[in-house]
Amino acid sequence: MSSGKVTTLTEAIARFVHDGHTVYLAGFTHAIPFAAGHEIIRQRRRNLILARATPDLICDQMIAAGCARKLIFSWGGNPGVGSLRAFRRAVERGELEIEEYTHFAMLSRLAAGASGLPFFPLRSLLGSDLPGVNPQIRTIRCPFTGEELAAVPSLRPDVTVVHAQRADAEGNVQIWGIVGDQREAAFAASRVIACVEEVVDELVVANDPNRTMVPGEVVSAVVAVPFGAHPSYVQGYYDRDNQFYIEWDGVTATPDGYAAWLDAWVHGVRDRQEYAARLGQGRLAQLQTPTRYTAPVNYGTFS
């Protein structure tokens, strides 16, 4: 059965991501939907509220490109390298509104959003200066013990983008390795765009339904985007392009550096295929990892 969800990234972004939207790009340093971020830049979306626990290079690029008016986040750095210069510059100049949490609080906001709860309670945040700068951090008293806990409101992105290993045409997304924030981020959103390394037959999914991390009915678009998470890694597919992360620091030392990079690698290519071609087979091949397969398990037949 085809639901017509399988599409191109160009179409998916055009159809589902609009100016002013709250967009959550999922993936906790693993399987970051870079290709989707680039397409959003390419289609020149404006006034987005970007939400992401770890903004990473992708949000740095989108901020530099002028897509964002606000960032909701919990850790804004270049993982393993240093800082995100566009993010820093924008915040230090007061050009970007920020709404800041801890990781646990961000995840709790997504959990509330996914669950249809208006808030989520957690034991954190109190005693830090974060509640003083973020009025969305409040307290709640336990009706049983009388304890005071922190509370954060639900986060309901207009669109969440996930990148994963595979999905079927209905958008049943299977992920292995680090799952991070992907499930809650998907269930919390009004729309989900699933970018995957491979679109597979629905029997592949049904063969092992415990691996389905995001079921098809919360997914609006399915896009095959090989290497769509480059320069981040995807378990079983490719490694992080660490050179890219290190060089990013130099590339972005000046606003001109950003502009030149965006011109060359985002506006200068039509889509992810052209991007990959420009990276070159040699570089991509270097990132591929040796295979290591799981052993099968027996589900049995009950009929």
Partner 1 sequence: MPWTPAEMMVVAAARRLRDEERVLVGIGLPNLAANLALRSHAPRLTMVYEAGVVGARPRRLPLSIGDPCLVEGARAVLAMHELFSWYLQGGRVDTGFLEAAQVDRFGNLNSTVIGAYNRPKVRLPGSGGACDIALLARRTLIMMPHRTERFPERVDFITSPGCTARRCLSWAGGGPEAVITDLGVLEFDTEGEMYLAAVHPGVDEAKVLAQTGWPLRCAQRIAETPPPTPEELTVLRDLDPAGVHLRRGR
Pairwise CA distance, residues 5 & 251, whole Å: 37
User: Which CB, 13 or 173, lies closer to partner 1?
Assistant: 173
DSSP string, 125-179: STTSSHHHH-TT-EEEE-TTT--EEEEEE----SEEEEEEEEE-TT--EE--S--
User: Which CB, 81 or 91, lies closer to a second copy?
Assistant: 81
Q: Minimal distance in Å, beta carbon 303 to a second copy? A: 9
Instruction: Enumerate residues 6+ apart whose C-beta is below 8 A from 61.
Output: 37, 38, 41, 86, 258, 262, 266
Among 110, 151, 276, 287, binds partner 1 (CB under 8 A): 110
Is 2 exposed, middle or buried, given 0-12, 13-18 or 19+ CB atoms closer than 10 A?
Answer: exposed
User: Which CB, 202 or 271, lies closer to partner 1?
Assistant: 202
Is 67 exposed, middle or buried, given 0-12, 13-18 or 19+ CB atoms closer than 10 A?
Answer: buried
Q: Minimal distance in Å, beta carbon 233 to a second copy? A: 7
User: Which CB, 7 or 78, lies closer to partner 1?
Assistant: 78
Residue 16 interacts with partner 1 (CB under 8 A): yes or no: no
Place of tokens 């996930």: 162
Residue 43 phi, psi dihedral angles, 5° rounding = -85, 5
Residue 298 interacts with a second copy (CB under 8 A): yes or no: yes
Q: According to CB under 8 A, which residues from 254 to 283 bind partner 1?
A: none
Q: According to CB under 8 A, which residues from 39 to 78 bind partner 1?
A: 53-54, 73-77
* One character per residue 174-213, x = contact with a second copy (rule: CB under 8 A): x-xx-x------------------------x--xx-xx--
36, 161 contact by CB (below 8 A): yes
Pairwise CA distance, residues 223 & 212, whole Å: 17
Q: Which two tokens stand for residue 208?
A: 């092992």
Residue 225 interacts with partner 1 (CB under 8 A): yes or no: no
Q: Which does 131 bind (CB under 5 to 8 A by kind): partner 1, a second copy, none?
A: none
Residue 131 interacts with a second copy (CB under 8 A): yes or no: no
Residues that bind a second copy (CB under 8 A): 116-119, 121-123, 136, 138-140, 142-145, 147, 149, 151, 153, 165, 174, 176-177, 179, 204, 207-208, 210-211, 233, 235-237, 239, 289-302
